[in-house]
Amino acid sequence: MHLLEDPRVAALVQNGTPMGRWAESQEVADAVLYLASEEAGYITGTLLRVDGGMRSK
């Protein structure tokens, strides 16, 4: 069983996220599409965190 399959653990993680919710799959896809686009052509060697603000806590 994956840890987040436990509803209690999943609720703790979700409530601990500054955004207070799970990411929508489209939000993650949008970040991937941006990095693969011409607009991101000069971006190298960086991380784009799609984590609802967890790293800023």
Q: If you write DSSP's letter for every residue of 30-42 in order, what string do you get?
A: HHHHHHTSGGGTT
Integer-rounded Cα radius of gyration of the chain: 14
pLDDT at 46: 87
User: With 90 as the cut, is the pLDDT of residue 56 above it?
Assistant: no
How far is the CA of 41 from the CAs of 4, 27, 28, 46, in angstroms? 35, 20, 19, 12
What would the pLDDT profile of 2-27 be if each residue is shown by its tens digit? 878 999 999 998 888 999 999 999 99
How far is the CA of 47 from the CAs of 14, 34, 50, in angstroms? 22, 13, 9
Q: Are 50 and 28 in contact (CB under 8 A)?
A: yes
Of 55 and 57, more confident: 55
> pTM above 0.75?
no
Per-residue pLDDT averaged across 25-40, rounded? Answer: 96
